[in-house]
Structure 1
Amino acid sequence: MSNRRPEQQARLTSKKHSDVALTVPAFLDTIRYHARYSLGKRWGLCSGRELFTAVALAVRDALIDRMLETEDRYQQTDPKRVHYLSMEYLLGRSLKNNLSNLRMLDLCRDALRKMGVDFEEVMEGECEAALGNGGLGRLAACFLDSLATMGMPGYGYGLNYEYGLFKQDIDNGYQKEKPDNWLIHGSPWQIERPDEACIVPLYGRIEHGIDRAGQYNPMWMDWKIIVGVPHDMPIVGFGGQTVNVLRVYSARSSAEFDMQIFNEGDYLKAVEQQIASETISKVLYPSDLVEAGRELRLVQEYLLVACTLRDIVRRYEKSHATFDQFASKVAIHLNDTHPALAVAELMRILVDEHAQPWEKAWETTQATLSYTNHTLMPEALEKWSVSLLEYVLPRHLQIIYEVNHRFLAQVASVWPDDHERLRRMSLIEEGEQKAVRMVNLALVGSHSTNGVSALHTQIVKTSLVPDFYQLWPEKFNTKTNGVTPRRWLLQANPLLADLITSTIGSDWITDLGKLRALEPYAQDPDFQQAFMMVRRSSKTLLTQIIYDRCRVAVSPDALFDVHVKRIHEYKRQLLNVMQIIHQYLRMIQDGITPPVPRVYIFAGKAAPGYWAAKQIIKLITSVGQVINADPRVQGLIKVVFLPDYRVSLAEQIVPATDVSEQISMAGTEASGTGNMKFAMNGALTIGTHDGATIEIMDEVGQENIFLFGLQVEEIRQMRAGGSYHPRTYYHRNPDIRRLMDTFASGLFCPDEPSRFRWIYESVLDRGDPYFHLADLESYIETQERVAQAFKDPVGWTCKAILNVARTGKFSSDRAIAEYAREIWNIKPSSSPPDATG
């Protein structure tokens, strides 16, 4: 069976610039123009950063034209629009993505070549937009790409953090955090809109009044004002037909400074107040270990909500005289509970500012809002103390209490005298310090609540909020996550994308289900050979990155076993390290050689205040230092930790991965999106029965994935019955006992033998809350199956190709189509792009 279609490749080549007005000379002129007149530089004197900026501004010209055309189209048709609220957007670098979606990538390469400039060097000049941290923000970015690609009328709303989470250095094996000031040079992608700034009230008090009709009329008085200044970032869909907008807000003081304080002669105090106001959007995730950090985080969440709703209402009122059509023209989606204050804010706007009767306002609010739950971990469920809310947002707390009063009356009418149920469902958690449960607020104030995988939704309905599911079963649904194939296959893995396109055509770029056409090629020798060459090229590139950043030499012929994600105990990097230690001890003490050489690749950031996670990074680096230097291992095991994990690094790791580690304790990972990116690029998954990994198994076939470990119900029963005793596994299995003893022996920390004893004690004597030892035997056995399978390159390649071919379900296009049809009730305003253009 041939794997080439020369006539189609010729057609692609001849049409590659057909829908782009720019020619190479015209694009060159635009770049030179921006170098001269936007940057004030002669082209030949531009620094690397300035080269990037000139090229980006030239691309932005094309984006803005299409952005304005898109908005004109929306104005003419007045479609229902979705407004997606998220505290995070992990966009990655935008230049290459924008060029790819505009189909100007080859044009730009040709233009820069004529100017004697290296294309990749220009791409490296871009700072990544530090507007997010992990999966939540990356999902939001994928959704924006799909909304635009599918021609859906949709806006993203977020905050314009000046500093991201942090840049990660590894110093003597320890994580060191450095400031990530990504906006230090500004961003060519941001268009500031000071004329559309929003006034945001905070603090103050409630004046309890009575209106002319004798009704209670509370008035929010004496507030402090901050200003949210919007910055628009164009989001272009594939083909360039639709350019939507991500609007992110920066906090500014309400004036240069408080003139009264200034006139009183306290200039420094006046300036301090201005600085304090502008601190609000400075940093992603301020530490909540102190009260000041919690207050800042709450103010951040309200800034997002207040500015977004003010903007939505302003747009709506331009063409509508009443709010009767609001819910039929506006969909507002809450990406987790961070924007849940939108429930109270929309009620405040409708009731206080537009004199809507409560019942009508509440009907509008519920019909407008929808909510995605991303969180199963009890400690991660967002709550705000009543005292803090009363201090920062006194009117909103009043509204929340009124919502709760009416809601509990509804619950009591369904379940009379069930006081325990009332306690569980209340928006207010009683106790020594009362708190508002933001999950409950989001549930009550919206018409739809969805999980992000089938298993996650089931857990939400049966364990997280079963009372709400019993009350409103029609509200709950599943929208399994997806990732954009434009970023995570077409752009991140161009060699594989070219191979796929030359074999089955390019329709897969906008319809990932078309990858099914690859299935017949999974056993075709020519295609397999081409596929293996692509993979080896990607692995060779990653070996150079590993050497440059870690000074560890690895072979591209080894099995690349990759565990990259946020460092957290529930994601169980520790479980992976345990089995690595087991493999190492089998070599040096038992003389058992592993079936294949393997490189274990870790990356990820630990939250600055998360001691255990930071210690796990130190453990990984310490284990790697010992194993990599041991001549008895002969290079058969290598362990590396790549610092500063981010989107651009992920784009280099994903195409080179043989095995993708998705080993969270069952019932803790809502869905995952990394698992999808890896499978889409031909990595085989080793994972637990958790999140969307189960659905990946259903799609790619049980024989093409490696699942192990306890399932959710088994863990629940063991926990409920108290039947999990880690020391039983320790005493029963000598291999487990031997590897656990290394944590207490100092084998991997001879300079400080007790450094990792906390792991020994935590696992064996403090309950092992993440069931490491319960899953370890199964994990070790499954890793042995992985190694045996990798020994057969033809069989392994067949499995890898089938993973690629069967991941169509995990496109964010499919997810957005489901949201649009089943939750938001929005439709495309333009026809889908022609992927063959």
Structure 2
Amino acid sequence: MPKPLTDQEKRKQISVRGLAGVENVSDLKTNFNRHLHFTLVKDRNVATKRDYYFALANTVRDHLVGRWIRTQQHYYEKDPKRVYYLSLEFYMGRTLQNTMVNLALENACDEAIYQVRDPRCPRSVAVPHRSYLDRSCFLDSMASLGLAAYGYGIRYEFGIFNQKIVNGWQVEEADDWLRYGNPWEKARPEYMRPVHFYGRVEHTPEGVKWVDTQVVLALPYDTPIPGYRNNVVNTMRLWSAKAPCDFNLKDFNVGGYIQAVLDRNLAENISRVLYPNDNFFEGKELRLKQEYFVVAATLQDIIRRFKSSKFGSTEVVRVDLSTLPEKVAIQLNDTHPAMAIPELMRILVDTEHLTWEKAWDICTRTCAYTNHTVLPEALERWPTDLLQNLLPRHLEIIYEINRRHLERIAKLYPGDDDRLRRMSLVEEGHQKKINMAHLCIVGSHAVNGVARIHSDILKATLFKDFYEVDPDKFQNKTNGITPRRWLVMCNPGLAEVIAERIGDDYIRDLDQLKKLLEFVDDDSLICDIAKIKQENKLKFSAYLEEQYKVKINPNSMFDVQVKRIHEYKRQLLNCLHIITLYNRIKKEPNKDWTPRTIMIGGKAAPGYHTAKLIIRLITAIGEIVNNDPVVGDRLKVIFLENYKVTLAERIIPASDLSEQISTAGTEASGTGNMKFMLNGALTIGTMDGANVEMAEEAGEENLFIFGMRVEDVEAMDKSGYDAMEYYNRIPELKQAMDQIAGGFFSPDQHDLFKDIVNMLLHHDRFKVFADYEAYIKCQDKVSALYRNPKEWTKKVIYNIASCGKFSSDRTISQYAREIWGMEPSLEKIPAPDDPRQ
């Protein structure tokens, strides 16, 4: 029997088919050694594993540089419309391997590293770098589709936080991801831009002036974003806050030089740390500073690039900004960059001296807004007194936007004062606030949700008034994932099995996966996919045993729920199922149960008490279940510590069952559900977010759908939700809740989970008990089908074959054509002259 292929060898088989020519392995070795010697100033005697990683990263980066420069030259010469994607977060994941996949370099690099023959020298996946959201999928697709695109955000010194589990509780540790440097970024001090805060506004005959401000400098760092084998390398530009040299130096005159230098931190704190709160609005001044900082620096950069572009047959400087919407598209990812609207108006009116009407036309035709949530606590509402202090001119502009907006509404709906109140950008109350979602809608030409059901809810409820006024403004753009990272890179075995049947063009065109439907009854494909899944499970089992000191049954069903810990995502429903399974096994220990390893992972926002308590409950349940000899290996519960992109790349290919169980109408889309689907896991889920479209594509019979639909939840909201009715009526639910309340899972502190019990029984907005019965029955169906491996794998094939819609390439193509007015291109940019690049 031939020896099984390693992951590198499987990716190599795919990579070699995509190579235009064979890379010179000898050159790669030479460059690797050159970087080790000249860049890192090390020799083999003292080099560490990290040194070898950096040497390899710099060697691969060399192959990006020529393409990166050539791409920017191409954009300058052709002067295409450019899209600027503004987001406060980009989670990039491991860059080295992704770059090698997209450049078809992995086989040559693997061979070169093999020939180096040093045990410290990394294979292509050995050293993870920054695990930093799926906006990175969009950047990958923009480059792969040949769009002139730029991602703009903040270069946080500290990431979201590293999660440690100590005595069952989440403990946060700083994510100092820049400690050892970042080989992929390039500082661009020549493009540093000033950003102003505070000050006051003067209305003069020459125009409005914002004076006496504090200045913070925005220093850009550029990261290359390679497209998939098309020689396109786009740019992600992240801004870092720097204090100007004269910051507070007036204090020097009174002997306060040291303090003046120390106070520079006040300015530089802006880019110090990423706010970790997910689906919670935290109205802190530092957060508003971050939001304005990124848009102010970015808009200066956009206008600089627009004015200096080459167009027509000669090189000139644009002075007329009236054509900005024809050459620039700005996508506001959520409300975090909403200040781009008043900032663009400030630039156009105060600096460029356009009339308000002309400036507003340019602004609305340039900007578009993506909404990501319907939860009221997540919607940004900034107090006007904070804005008055920090950004006084912008508050004036927002008031003027609102005045003109309400004049229009009053003409359309005369006498409807209640509608005016609902649609106002300014919310009155004991504290006057600006509704940033309303500002985004009014200031944009397109508003989209991220799954069809989400977009429908926005139109029917949250933004109903705005939809009635401007129905053509509202669109849907269902999210997607990049198949390069989430299949070829993280699951090369499955990628190769698919390529053997239908070729590897599906990597560029995921719709081609439909061809797999021809093989749904093919025993060889069924066998191959089941084999790959088992290999992935064995590898992950070994990882769990090493990291968690828990030995699990690799033949058990891997039942996985990984996502941020939040009440609406209903990890508590999963907990109730675990307890129910445990009680059933204890009651009938001799029954032939379907073995399960249930894994839950995710971070809780540091200030979110209930989410942290949910983590403690999961770990407490695991402590009881995992140590019960009666249960044995038929049920194991593991909390996956510090869930992030790099861990996702391990767990998703190994998963059998994907838990997507949010209350219908609360999850905007989700992309984890798509990643699991593409990697051969079956979904148990509610009709929420993208689950709805996944069920449509694969057939509802090939997913495990349960529970209330959106209309059922709405009806229950009207009639009233009585958790006690379910508690008193369903014996297994009552038993589980009584165990939690009575201290069965917290014998040393019986009332540890009293807040969770009280919430579920009396204050549960997300109606966990209402879906309990349906969920348990659906899980019973899951267990029954898992005992029939052939039928299970057939459903897996149906799911994989139905993933085409969920490619981020499709998502970005729709954004480009329907919002940005751009046309994707699969043509390659000419390769750079240097053959090594």
Do the structures match in fold with TM over 0.5? yes
Task: Find the aligned partners of 2:456 and 2:281 in 1 and give their Cα distance.
Answer: 35
Letter of the structure 1 residue corresponding to residue 780 of structure 2: E
Q: Is residue 2:744 matched to residue 1:747?
A: yes
The Cα of 1:124 is off from its aligned counterpart by 3.5
The correspondence for 1:806, drawn from 792, 802, 809, is 802
* Partners of 1:251 and 1:279 within 8 A in 2: yes
1:550 Cα deviation after fit: 1.6
**Residue in 1 that maps onto 2:139:** 144
| 8 Å CA contact 1:49, 1:126 repeated in 2 | no
The corresponding residue for 1:504 is: 502
Equivalent pair of 1:546/1:642 in contact (CA under 8 Å): no
Partner of 2:769: 773
Hey, what does 1:296 align to over in structure 2?
286
Structure 2 residue aligned with 1:815: 811
Q: 1:167 maps to which residue? A: 162
| Correspondence for 1:638 | 636
Q: Paired residue for 1:186, among 181, 192, 208?
A: 181
Distance 1:829 1:121, change over 3 A: closer
* Partner residue of 1:444 out of 436, 442, 447: 442
Decide whether the 8 Å contact of 1:789 with 1:796 is kept in 2.
yes
After TM superposition, the structure 1 = structure 2 runs for residues 537-686 of structure 1, keeping only pairs within 5 Å, are 537-591=535-589, 593=591, 595-686=593-684
**TM-score normalized by structure 2?**
0.95
Give the aligned partner of residue 3 of structure 2: none
In the other structure, the counterpart of 1:421 is 419
Provide structure 1 residue ranges, at least 5 long, that are not aligned to the other structure.
1-8, 131-136, 212-216
Q: Would the alpha carbon gap of residues 619 and 206 (structure 1) be closer, same or farther in structure 2, given more than 3 Å must change?
A: same
What secondary structure is seen at the aligned counterpart in 2 of 1:123? coil
> How many correspondences in the alignment?
812
> d(CA) in 1 for partners of 2:15 and 2:189?
44
Q: Which residue of 1 aligns with 2:71?
A: 70
Mapped to 1, the partners of 2:697 and 2:556 lie a distance apart of: 27
Could you give the per-residue CA deviations for residues 435-467 of structure 1, whole angstroms, max 9, x where no partner exists? 100000000000000011010000000111100
Aligned to 2:197: 202
Q: Is the 2:161–2:175 contact (alpha carbons within 8 Å) kept by the matching residues of 1?
A: yes
AA of the residue aligned to 1:53 = F
Q: 1:19 to 1:81 in 2, by over 3 A?
A: same
What is the CA–CA distance in structure 2 between the aligned matches of 1:833 and 1:711, rounded to whole Å? 47
Aligned partners of 1:288 and 1:294 also within 8 Å = no
- Tell me which of 757, 761, 777 is aligned to 2:754: 757
The 1:706/1:32 distance shift into structure 2, 3 A limit, reads: same
The answer to whether the 8 A contact 1:51-1:122 is kept is no
Secondary structure of the 1:90 match is coil
SS at 2:321's partner residue?
coil
Equivalent in the alignment of 1:280: 270
1:272 partner letter = L
Q: 1:415 & 1:807 partners in 2: Cα distance?
A: 45
Q: From the superposition, tell whether residues 121 and 622 of structure 1 become closer, same or farther in structure 2 (CA, over 3 Å).
A: farther
Give the superposition deviation at 1:716. Answer: 1.1
Amino acid at match of 1:283: V
User: Is 1:255–2:242 an aligned residue pair?
Assistant: no
Question: Contact 2:369–2:446 (CA<8 Å) still a contact in 1?
Answer: yes
Counterpart Cα distance in 1 of 2:31 and 2:824 = 32
Secondary structure, counterpart of 1:87 in structure 2: coil
- For the Cα contact (< 8 Å) 1:17–1:107, is it kept in 2? no
The Cα of 1:302 is off from its aligned counterpart by 0.5
SS class of match (1:110): helix
3-state DSSP of counterpart to 2:322: coil
User: What residue ranges of structure 2 are gaps of 5+ in the alignment?
Assistant: 1-9, 310-317, 831-837
Residue identity matched to 2:228: F
Residue 292 of structure 1: how far off its partner (Å): 11
Q: Is the 8 A contact 2:659 2:683 kept in 1?
A: yes
The equivalences for 1:216-231 within 5 A come to 217-231=207-221
Contact 2:110–2:124 (8 Å) recurs in 1: no
The aligned runs of 1:466-481 (5 Å cut-off) are 466-481=464-479
Q: Distance in 1 between matches of 2:645 and 2:280?
A: 30
SS, match of residue 615 in structure 1: helix
Change (3 A) 1:677 1:325: same
User: Contact (CA 8 Å) 1:70, 1:242: kept in 2 or not?
Assistant: yes
CA contact (8 A) 2:382 2:434 kept: yes
Q: How does 1:727-738 map to 2 (within 5 A)?
A: 727-738=724-735
Partners in 2 of 1:631 and 1:14 — Cα distance? Answer: 48
Cα shift at 1:258: 3.0
Checking the alignment, whether the CA contact within 8 Å between 2:239 and 2:294 is kept in structure 1 is yes
Which residue number corresponds to residue 399 of structure 1?
397
SS in structure 1 of the partner of residue 651 of structure 2: helix
> Alpha-carbon deviation of 1:12?
6.6
Q: Which amino acid aligns with 1:484?
A: T
* CA drift at 1:590: 4.9
For residue 767 of structure 1, report the CA deviation from its aligned partner. Answer: 3.1
SS at match of 2:642: coil
Of 483, 487, 490, the residue aligned with 1:489 is 487
* Deviating more after overlay: 590-599 vs 448-457: 590-599
Q: SS of the residue aligned with 1:92?
A: coil
Alpha carbons 1:256, 1:274 under 8 Å: kept: no
Tell me which residue corresponds to 2:313.
Answer: none
Distance 1:75 1:337, change over 3 A: same
C-alpha distance 461-592 of structure 1, shift in aligned 2 (>3 A): farther
Q: Secondary structure at the match of 2:396?
A: helix
SS in 2 for 1:563: strand
2:191 and 2:209 map into 1 onto residues whose CA distance is: 26
Match of 1:214 in 2: none
* CA pair 565-144 structure 1, distance change in 2 beyond 3 A: same
Displacement, 1:744? 1.2
TM-score (norm 1): 0.95
Residue pair 1:80, 1:328 contacting (<8 A) in 2 also: yes
> How big is the shift at 1:209?
2.5
CA offsets, 1:203-257, max 9 Å, x none?
011123333xxxxx33211000000000000000110410000000000001164
Does the CA-based 8 Å contact 1:151-1:241 persist in structure 2?
Answer: no
In 1, Cα distance between the equivalents of 2:739 and 2:87? 43
Matched-pair contact (CA < 8 Å) for 1:595–1:788: no
Q: Which residue number in structure 1 is paired with residue 59 of structure 2?
A: 58
Partner of 1:49: 50
Q: Which moved more, 1:547-556 or 1:691-700?
A: 547-556
Task: Give 1:310's aligned residue.
Answer: 300
Q: Is the 8 A contact 1:376 1:670 kept in 2?
A: yes
2:828 and 2:617 mapped to 1: Cα distance? 49
Residues 600 and 637 of structure 1 are in contact (CA less than 8 Å); yes or no, is this contact kept in structure 2? yes
Q: 2:717 aligns with which of 704, 710, 719?
A: 719
| Amino-acid identity (%) | 45
Determine if contact 2:585/2:593 at 8 Å carries over to the other structure.
Answer: no
Distance change (3 Å), C-alpha of 1:441 and 1:479: same
State the Cα deviation string for residues 768-790 of structure 1 (Å, max 9, x = none).
Answer: 21101000000000000000010
Separation in 2, partners of 1:468, 1:701: 34
State which drifts further: 814-823 or 271-280: 271-280
TM-aligned CA deviation for residue 737 of structure 1: 1.0
1:796, 1:59 → 2: CA distance? 41
Shift of 1:827: 2.3
Give the match for residue 127 of structure 1.
129
Closer/same/farther in 2, CA of residues 632 and 287 from structure 1, 3 Å limit: closer
Name the amino acid aligned to 1:125: V
> What's the CA shift string for 1:93-128, capped at 9, x where partnerless?
100000110000011100000001466556333431
The alpha-carbon distance between structure 1 residues 816 and 286, as it changes in their structure 2 partners (threshold 3 A), is: closer
Measure the CA separation in 2 of the matches of 1:120 and 1:384. 48
Give the Cα separation in 2 of the matches to 1:529 and 1:307.
54
Moved more, 609-618 or 119-128: 119-128
- Residues 288/60 of structure 1: CA separation in 2 closer, same or farther (3 Å cut): closer
Residues 17 and 104, structure 1, Cα contact 8 Å, conserved in 2: no
Distance 1:256 1:107, change over 3 A: farther
Change (3 A) 1:775 1:829: closer
